[in-house]
Amino acid sequence: MTLQIIGAGWGRTGTETLRAALDALGFGPCHHMHEIRDRPELLADWQAFAAGAPVPWETLFRGYRSQVDFPGAAYWRELAAHYPDAKVILTVRDPDEWYDSVTRTVLDLLKERETMTDAHEVAVLDLSDRLIGEGYFAGRGADRDHMIARFRAHAAEVQAALPPERLLTYEVRDGWAPLCGFLGVPVPDLPFPHANDRDSYRAGWRG
């Protein structure tokens, strides 16, 4: 199995909703940060990768047809080069709304690590902070202006790097039509999923 779809959109842009939609369309299993949280056997390879070991993409994404959210989204360029036949989906939303959502979910959760009792979940958050917070965002997650500028620049970089036939810039509120058109599949007779609002995000982490 190889990646057919690469998600370049950052967390809190509807990536969990997109994951549910891709699964419904037959492009699952779909990798997401929550997979590392919910499947402890995946953590060791990602920890080795974060420590600088040359872990192959095929190992990190073994068993998956698609990938969305972090940590994969931080390596969209490398994944797009490694899987040249894969299509790329860039999920986007209003930058200010995005940052407010990150603050109320991801950043709040990272602050709570010292009081959490689930060792595996703490290790996943440590991994997230190492790869994304310290690595990708240079430890400036609390700097609103910096983060919003990075968010806008990221979208522009993806759009400039990939031809339009390979890239879909997508807001999940637009539902099935643009997604199915891009993937060349019929619109299913199913409600479009809506997943991972603030309450469900927090409920997914036991602590």
- Residue 116 contacts by C-beta under 8 Å, 6 or more apart in sequence? 122, 125, 205, 207
DSSP letter at 89 equals E
The model carries a pTM of 0.93
Bin 137: left if φ > 0, else alpha if -120 < ψ < 50, else beta: alpha
Q: Note whether 10 and 86 are within 8 A (CB).
A: no
In the block, tokens 């959760």 appear at: 109
Domains and CATH numbers, the chain: 5-203 (3.40.50.300)
Q: For strand 5-7 and strand 87-91, is the pairing parallel, antiparallel, or unpaired?
A: parallel
pLDDT in single tens digits along all 207 residues of the chain: 799 999 999 999 999 999 999 999 999 999 999 999 999 999 999 999 999 999 999 999 999 999 999 999 999 999 999 999 999 999 999 999 999 999 888 888 888 888 888 999 999 999 998 888 887 787 887 889 999 999 999 999 999 999 999 999 999 999 999 999 999 999 999 999 987 566 666 566 665
Pick the closest to residue 38 from 101, 129, 118 (CA basis). Answer: 118
